[in-house]
Structure 1
Amino acid sequence: MTITQDTLKKNNEAQKDIRTFVMKCGGSTLAALPDAFFEDLQKLQAEGMQPVIVHGGGPAISENLAKLGIETEFVNGLRKTTEPVLDVVEMVLAGSINKQIVRRIQSSGGKALGLSGVDGGLIQAKPVSNHAEVGHVGDVTRIEASIIQGVLDMGYMPIIAPIGIDGDGQRYNINADTAAGAVASHLGASRLIVVTDVPGIMKNVNGVKKVLGTVAVQEIQDMIQTGEIYGGMIPKVKAAIECIQGKVKEVIIVDGSEPSVLSRVLQGEVIGTRIVRM
């Protein structure tokens, strides 16, 4: 039997989809994760998996803005980003938090390389539609996936800070969940793992809180309307929904403090909540 180039390409893409996964995590969550989480990540890398991490860092940005006496405000959940605010956003995300993650992975024996979305035009962006209200906040227009793939091919985990850039050199503050979804989609990854500090989406069943194993996007929106999802869980699930774009078919919300949580999820164990597109 003759194997065509198209068949080889499809087989390679299928293998990449199995091995490569994108993980999104907030900066404060990452800082609180136990060493065992990073040891699990290193084990996966040693076994041939290719993790890609996109991180946020909202609380640390707010803390540094306060220290510098720079006012900050939010408009419909988006941080109003003036040039002075953007300088701090870049300093915190691409600097301290990004390198903290790299250090922790390397201390666990893994190999990691920190990147900003500005590097090589990795995350290309344009202003959001209400930019007059929110300033330099951006929507992703393109991910230069070849850069990420190149880092993976060298044997390193890409650790990506969500700062975008346009053709004129203007920087943009990009929502980390939006950036993670775009990265996963452009890489061709079908699933994205959101590591947080909750066991998943909770629902009251006869007065007892239970974790929903699988839920569709429309069900989540309905549960927000009825009040079944409330409080601090609302931004978490909305952020996860933002990740379902392009080729991303499912987002899995897991508690990072669970033992070997990444390995178990990737082996098919039902942990946390799977949000699926339906």
Structure 2
Amino acid sequence: MGKIIVIKCGGSMIDSLTDEFYESIKNLQALGYQPVIVHGGGPAINSMLDKMNIKSEFVNGLRKTTDEVMNVVEMVLSGSISNKLVRHLQMQGIASIGINGADSGLLYAEAKDLSNLGFVGEIKTINKDVIHKLITIGLVPVISPIASGIDGVDCYNINADTAAGEIAVALDAQKLLFVTDVPGVLKNGNMIKDVTNKEILALIDEGTISGGMIPKVMAAIHGLEGGMTEAVIVSGKKPLIEGTDMVGTIIRKEVEVSETHEQII
């Protein structure tokens, strides 16, 4: 089937993705990668909520999702955002299909904290066969982070960074890319090219990594612990790769002394 690479596109980047980004997807395919795209849509959801005069609030960085908010989230993510990405991919000659996590039982979740967060879900199961079948027939899946409820709830809103990390682990993906509006992890204005999972935690503690970058790097760490080779924070305004190398901040798992000893043996 080839090497799977999960690419998470941030909602703030959807309208800013350049032709170079889509060309990079084709280049990744030429290098033997099978792309799987997971996307967010925060700014578009905010805009639609404002137009509909629906109040929304955030709790610990997660959008509290009421029934009204959930309807808008599903409409925007599985409607306009997913369709826009698929259209642009098709225009570049990349066969793709938009699906959401509730389709064919792809994602099942339960409430993360129903009383405080409403219908924000925590993924419990992933039907990876659905994605494998789409890849097998030559399609790039474009996944909206909506999940069915294992507890009888129609659907849950899933943090897109977390969903991308969970899907990458389930698929045994080799790489996980987070496409953002910055070139990578920045410290004092300079991009960090290589960093380990333990160094990432130190950067969070010192405040270098904050805000919306935290769920991205934590999802990256989860993926590395699940066996992934590397995760990369990249810009959607530039090519994702140069030659065969990823462009951005590469996050790798720090090799423990015991692991090194085992490799030598």
The answer, yes or no, to whether TM exceeds 0.5 is: yes
Cα deviation per residue 1:143-167 (whole Å; 9 max; x = unaligned)? 1100000000010000000001123
Distance in 1 between residues matched to 2:78 and 2:177, nearest whole Å: 21
Amino acid at match of 2:227: K
Q: 1:195 Cα shift? A: 1.1
Amino acid at match of 1:254: V
**Sequence identity (%):** 42
Cα deviation per residue 1:67-88 (whole Å; 9 max; x = unaligned)? 0011000011010001110000
Q: 1:30 Cα shift? A: 2.4
Cα deviation per residue 1:214-267 (whole Å; 9 max; x = unaligned)? 21233223223323x15xx54214322223322334310111222x32464xx1
CA RMSD of aligned residues (A): 1.8
SS of 2:99's equivalent in the other structure is: strand
| TM-score (norm: length of structure 2) | 0.88
SS of 1:254's equivalent in the other structure is: strand
| Aligned equivalent of 1:277 | 253
Q: Which runs of 5+ in 1 are unaligned?
A: 1-14
Distance in 2 between residues matched to 1:126 and 1:28, nearest whole Å: 27
Corresponding residue to 2:232 among 252, 257, 263 = 252
Distance in 1 between residues matched to 2:179 and 2:206, nearest whole Å: 26
1:156-171 equivalences in 2 (<5 Å):
156-167=139-150, 168-171=152-155
1:60-99 equivalences in 2 (<5 Å):
60-99=44-83
Q: 1:196 Cα shift? A: 1.1
SS of 1:170's equivalent in the other structure is: coil
Q: 1:34 Cα shift? A: 1.0
Q: 1:201 Cα shift? A: 1.1
Distance in 1 between residues matched to 2:27 and 2:51, nearest whole Å: 38
Whether the 8 Å contact between 2:58 and 2:64 is mirrored in structure 1 is yes
Whether the 8 Å contact between 2:184 and 2:249 is mirrored in structure 1 is yes
CA distance 1:263–1:116, shift in 2 (3 Å):
farther
| TM-score (norm: length of structure 1) | 0.84
Distance in 2 between residues matched to 1:175 and 1:155, nearest whole Å: 27
| Aligned equivalent of 2:198 | 218
SS of 2:212's equivalent in the other structure is: helix
Whether the 8 Å contact between 1:37 and 1:256 is mirrored in structure 2 is yes
SS of 2:177's equivalent in the other structure is: strand
